């Protein structure tokens, strides 16, 4: 990218970031204010400020070690920042107890990881039902409906070892969707997949976005990254640039 283009993008990104902050608070799902995370000597995140609107799709990119997973863990209520505030629906999650964080995560957030974390001795539908168990009550019909959504109804009784990588990832997505989360966090969801399965996962994310979900996706893949409304690039724990892809696509 030319320097001028980069500067234009940065300007536009700052303008949309300001606009996002000005949006009425009911439009905002997530706000990070001065978020830092320090591991002994490593500044994994430094002074991150970001406002995410409801139904926005954000991609998080940056080289290995730039803080992407740390950011997702903090937003996903799995870790707390060293300093700063994280407002989810206006509630500062950095001030909540572990117990209440578990509830928030269960009710509002769907997590999709690169590693599938499926239980190997349970079938696809049973793996989805484990998530229901933590949320409410296992309900096979509902779990089957979730599998149908990701095109896996006919694989419901298969064990993970009998499924391809792409199919296992789709079981994970079905599992993440069981509570109808308003925020979907995906850390390298296509990292282990071939092109065809990557397209399938992108298609599922696109549909969830169309249905109203807010999405944050960490990815190394420019094609996946470009699906977003805005792309946040991290570098050594800081935001290096925010690209307003939506505005660029409209121009």
Q: Which parts of this chain interact with ligand ADP (CB under 6 A)?
A: 39, 42, 44, 62, 64-70
Strand order in the sheet with 230-235: 109-112, 183-187, 214-218, 57-61, 230-235, 238-244
> How many residues sit in the footprint of Mg ion (CB under 5 A)?
2
Residue among 16 and 66 whose Cβ is closer to ligand ADP:
66
Least distance from Mg ion to the Cβ atom of residue 146, Å: 26
Q: Which stretch binds Mg ion (CB under 5 A): 27-35, 63-71, 115-123, 177-185?
A: 63-71
Contact between 73 and Mg ion by CB under 5 A: the answer reads: no
Structure token digits, residue 231: 């792309």
Q: Toward ligand ADP, which CB reaches closer, 65 or 222? A: 65
Distance CA 194, CA 205 (A): 16
| Of 42 and 119, CB closest to ligand ADP | 42
Minimum distance, C-beta of residue 124 to ligand ADP, in the bound complex (Å): 28
Least gap, CB of 65 to ligand ADP (angstroms): 4
Q: What does each C-alpha distance from 131 to 17, 76, 126 come to in angstroms? A: 35, 16, 9
Which residue lies nearer to Mg ion by CB, 115 or 136?
Answer: 115
59-44-108-205 Cα dihedral, nearest 10 degrees: 20
- Tokens read off for 219: 């990815």
């Amino acid at each position: 990218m030319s320097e001028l283009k980069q500067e234009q993008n940065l300007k536009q990104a700052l303008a949309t970031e300001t606009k996002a902050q000005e949006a009425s608070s009911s439009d905002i799902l997530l706000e990070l204010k001065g978020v830092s995370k320090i591991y002994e000597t490593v500044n994994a995140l430094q002074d991150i400020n970001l406002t995410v609107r409801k139904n926005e799709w954000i991609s998080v990119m940056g080289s290995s070690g730039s803080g992407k997973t740390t950011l997702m863990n903090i937003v996903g209520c799995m870790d707390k920042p060293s300093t700063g505030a994280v407002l989810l629906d206006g509630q500062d999650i950095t001030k909540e107890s572990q117990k209440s964080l578990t509830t928030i995560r269960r009710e509002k957030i769907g997590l999709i990881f690169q590693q599938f974390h499926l239980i190997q001795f349970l079938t696809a539908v049973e793996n989805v039902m484990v998530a229901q168990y933590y949320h409410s009550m296992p309900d096979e019909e509902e779990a089957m409906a979730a599998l149908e959504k990701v095109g896996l109804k006919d694989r419901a009784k298969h064990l993970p070892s009998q499924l391809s990588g792409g199919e296992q990832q789709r079981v994970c997505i079905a599992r993440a969707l069981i509570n109808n989360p308003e925020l979907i966090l995906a850390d390298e969801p296509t990292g282990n997949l071939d092109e065809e399965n990557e397209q399938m996962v992108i298609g599922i994310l696109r549909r969830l976005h169309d249905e109203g979900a807010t999405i944050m996706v960490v990815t190394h893949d420019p094609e996946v990254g470009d699906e977003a409304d805005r792309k946040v690039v991290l570098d050594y724990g800081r935001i290096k640039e925010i690209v307003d892809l939506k505005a660029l696509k409209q121009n």
